[in-house]
Amino acid sequence: GPTEGAANGQDERYGAVNETWSTNAVYMKVEMTRRDGAFESRFGSDDFGNFRQAFGVFDIGNGPEWGIAIDGNTASTVASTIELDQPYTLVAKVDYPGDLLTLWVDPTLGDLEANNVPVHTVPYTNTNWASAVQMSSDGTGNTEWDNLVVAREWAGLIQPFGPNPGEGGPRITGLTVNDTVTG
């Protein structure tokens, strides 16, 4: 929306996910492939151009590692071997009532969430909503992002576009990226 808040003319909250609004958890899935020279490769919820929560590859001095960062702070990472030119399926979960951020790498999406072991989790007690997703990378090499899915439940991650299973309503049937920046 144009501004943050719940007053008239402020519509960021519609479709947002937070602790007190209508949806309390959000899952984000993306396919990521890093090329030689890529430094950090992150995706997560956007808050006016900044990451509210970021998931992916971070380098805090130990080389590339899987990790999670909150509000632009230093990432919490786990020792990892991350291959170049290797496609990875990454799933992130922001769980407001559970006070937890979770990252899975190459999970079995057709299986139950509980049967997939996360790569990393961190406590998360913030309550500001998530209303957009961003992907970012830096360094001299590319990071390729593909097949983004945002869902309210694990089972919804399998579908490339459309509502979660059992839900009616509007469907996204295509996506066009406009590379033209104005303003």
CB 4 within 8 A of CB 47: no
Give the model's pLDDT for residue 162: 47
How many distinct helices (H) and strands (E) make up the chain?
Answer: 0, 10
Quick one: average pLDDT of 35-47?
94
Tokens 């590692």 sit on residue? 65
pLDDT of residue 74: 95
Give the count of alpha carbons within 13 A of 39, CB side only. 8
Q: Convert the pLDDT of each residue in 130-171 to its tens digit.
A: 678 999 999 999 999 999 998 888 999 986 554 444 444 444
DSSP state of 17: B
Cβ contact 72:55 at 8 Å: no
Output the six-digit token pair for 71: 């509000």
What are residue 45's DSSP bridge partners?
Answer: 53, 133
1: amino acid identity, one letter: G
Q: Tell me: the pLDDT tens digits for 55-110?
A: 999 999 999 999 999 998 999 999 999 999 999 999 999 998 889 999 999 999 99
User: Tell me, what's the pLDDT at 72?
Assistant: 87
In degrees and rounded to multiples of 5, residue 148 shows phi and psi of -65, 135
